[in-house]
Amino acid sequence: MGSLEKKTSAPRTVAPSDIQHGTIEDPSSSHEGHDLSALGYKPELCRNRSMFTLLFQSLAIAAIPYGFGAPLISAIYGGGQLAMFLGWVMVLIVDECVAISLGELASRYPTSAGPYYWSFQVASPRIRTVLSFVTGWTWLVGNWTITLSVNFGFASLVAATVALYYPDFEWQSWHLLLIFYAICLITFVIVAFGNKFLPSVDTFCAVFTALTIFITLICLSAKAESGRNSPSETLGHYDTTLSGWGSFSFLIGTLPSAYTFSAIGMISSMAEECGDPTIKLPKALALCVPVGGIAGLFFIIPICATMPALADILEAPVGQALPYIYLRVMGSPAGACALTVLILVITLFCSISITVAASRCTWAFSRDHAVPASHLWSRIDKRHGTPIWALVLTTGVQMLLGLINLGSSSAFNAFVAVGVIALAVSYGIPITLSMIYGRQGVNGARWTMGPTIGWIVNVIAVAWIAFEVVLFSMPTAIPVTAVSMNYAIVVFVGFMALSAIWYGVHARKVYKGPPASDGLRVS
């Protein structure tokens, strides 16, 4: 494969004295920190991104008004305002621990291969090839399905916007599918042929998101046609009767918050398009949650203060609570439509940014021979500087999975939850391995929390990831029917079973893991 340095001998153990005597180059201490040859790869992508554009891309992926607003119906089932406000604050704390943990690993091993490369470098040589393959496929499935969830959520928001004017129109599955396909194709064209403009798109998205939050704050606070809730209701109203889960409803209500920041680690796939990624990439990861979290409070609190009765919101068309809340609070379809269109624009930016990251993930994993027909998906289009064939595969998989909604909406919803679960697991594996081996790699990174705080952050991150997997595997409401059942864990296990079959049939013959450089290059 042209993107890998050829290995003619088995990797050797690197002694500290080798570094001291200059026979080994340590990328974590290099001036620019992005010598890909030290990690076993050759540069193929243009480094046109800075720390700020990476931060803006991560915020575009989080897309707070969309990320929180699209699955808002879960927070309504989860009890309303308390779960929305306090749940947001709680998730910010634990997800910042995840972001910092990923940032340390990204600083030590700054490559687009991301979590599966980290797992390979951190794990024991006896098991690292298999572990990296498992991590890689979990990472890949997470990238594909979370991107799918954004694009299909976009289609649902479009349908909900139309329903503001035509509430009696009966939306069929094929209607949503056609809108979804249109979104996938529009995003494909922009990502494939507009690479040099994408950093500017991410920057504009950050500005537009801030403007949208400000406009929403003013409009909802000024109109409040459904009345204004008291301060205690705004931040503390909690109805445990809607989901059937009783006191556990609060955790169901944190699902929108958890979904918003579930894809923060995806910008690690942009490492090879950033100068000095050992510093800039982890900084962008660490800043995304607090910056986005503070901005999100200015979006969430006005909604909590003006929203109508929870039972009424459950009847929202297409299961989209936010446009319905806008309609009730603004008092007219025109006002609600104006605010929803702002969300749609943000969602388009999110679709673009998350598709970029997913295509880089697909390209990187293909570069290491882990995906069927890897020679095709690992190609870089020289004219546009993008892995267009990897983008083709990413878009094609989404469009195929979108067909599931024609047969069963509950099965499709499982794919959406799988995105969060798969990404969480792919984060958890390298973080756990790093802890098992005493954080030996990350303690020497240029950007690290150190041996004491680092342990605390890692433990909180892994505990949250484990709980998040359980939380997104649960149905939103009980008693459970065939339609409301959450099949996410079944779908996730199915994906892993297919990857295991692929490994046993063919991949084990060609996949030897990422370059076995241990993050160091023999001179």
All domains of the chain in start order, with CATH: 51-509 (1.20.1740.10)
Q: Which two tokens stand for residue 184?
A: 């996938």
CB within 8 A of 8, min separation 6: which ones?
none
Distance CA 134, CA 470 (A): 19
Distance CA 236, CA 79 (A): 10
Distance CA 412, CA 139 (A): 19
pTM: 0.88
Burial of 18 (0-12, 13-18, 19+ CB in 10 A): middle
Token pair 């999100």 is found at: 296
Distance CA 225, CA 118 (A): 52
Containing 19, the helix (H) or strand (E) segment is helix 16-20
DSSP helix/strand/coil, 98: helix
Distance CA 458, CA 455 (A): 5
Q: Each residue's pLDDT tens digit in the chain (523 positions)?
A: 333 333 333 333 333 333 333 333 343 334 343 467 777 788 877 888 889 999 999 999 999 999 999 999 999 999 999 999 999 999 999 999 999 999 999 999 999 999 999 999 999 888 999 999 999 999 999 999 999 999 999 999 999 999 999 988 888 889 999 999 999 999 999 999 988 888 888 899 999 999 999 999 999 999 999 999 999 999 999 999 999 999 899 999 999 999 999 999 999 999 888 888 999 999 999 999 999 999 999 999 999 999 999 999 998 988 899 999 999 999 999 999 999 999 999 999 999 999 999 999 999 999 999 999 999 999 988 888 889 999 999 999 999 999 988 776 666 677 788 999 999 999 999 999 999 999 988 988 999 998 899 999 999 999 999 999 999 999 888 888 777 788 888 888 888 898 899 988 888 899 988 886 544 332 2
Q: Cβ–Cβ contacts within 10 Å for residue 443, how many? A: 15
Distance CA 352, CA 140 (A): 17
